[in-house]
Amino acid sequence: MFVYSVKTSKAKIFTLVIALAAIIAAAVFVMGAEKEPAANDSAISYKAENAAERTAFLSQFGWKISEDPAEISEVIIPSDFDAGYTEYSEMNKAQGLDLEPYKGMRAKRWTYDILNYPGLENQRGVQANLLIYDGRIIGGDICSLDLGGFIHGFDFPSVPQTTAPPLSVAEVPIESTTRT
């Protein structure tokens, strides 16, 4: 049998307890920071739990939208991305959003009419789509519903459109259930 004894003082025990508490606090802080989804631009808020936060998200990019959504639907992010959805996912990654972790999950798509698309201000048919999971924007786009329309990320275009440019991202089928 082996016996080991340690001679210690109250000051050494107190120092050890403080050091352990600091290590535990640092570990909790690091684990909490990892749970927050990363975004490329920390100045952008991706919160979307209510109408005000959804409007604020789009206004960060310069968009003015209709007060009421044109459509609210439940969507399923496909488990396997086809070519069109892969391109859509890449477009979202370029704007700091990643759909990969949400494969096979249900999200809500909130669609709003855009009121100030450059060159098309007095025309209907330009919309913003927000994909929302657990009160946070996980993806989306700005698109034209016109034949030969367009789709792009949330950034406000610098060149006004006089006609709709060709569709830049392939049609992206999303299973949905429309709820208005």
Rounded Cα distance, 132 and 75, in Å: 10
Question: Rounded mean pLDDT of the chain?
Answer: 81
Q: How confident is the model at residue 149 (pLDDT cuts 50, 70, 90)?
A: confident
Would 44 be classed as within a structural domain? Answer: no
Specify whether 115 is located in the same domain as 148: yes
- Per the CB < 8 A criterion, the answer to whether 114 and 94 are in contact is no
Calculate the alpha carbon distances from 31 to 55, 101, 142 in Å. 31, 18, 34
CA distance 180 to 171: 23
Beta pairing, strands 71-76 & 126-133: unpaired
Do residues 14 and 90 share a domain?
Answer: no
CB contact set of 173 (below 8 Å; sequence gap of 6+): 82, 84, 85
Do 26 and 89 reside in the same domain of the chain?
no
Residue 43 placed within a domain: no
Look up the pTM and report it.
0.65
Q: Are residues 65 and 115 in the same domain?
A: yes
Q: How far apart are CA 70 and CA 58, in angstroms?
A: 15
Domain span at 143? 51-179
Query: Average pLDDT for residues 96-124, to the nearest whole number?
Result: 89
Q: Are residues 107 and 140 in the same domain?
A: yes
* Range 132-159 average pLDDT: 90
Q: How confident is the model at residue 22 (pLDDT cuts 50, 70, 90)?
A: confident
Domain count, the chain: 2
Mean pLDDT of 26-42: 56
Does residue 73 share a domain with residue 95?
yes
25 and 90 both lie in a single domain? no
Q: What is the pLDDT of residues 35-59, one digit of tens each?
A: 444 444 457 888 999 999 999 999 9
30 or 110: whose pLDDT is higher? Answer: 110
What pLDDT, on a 0 to 100 scale, did the predictor assign at position 165?
A: 45
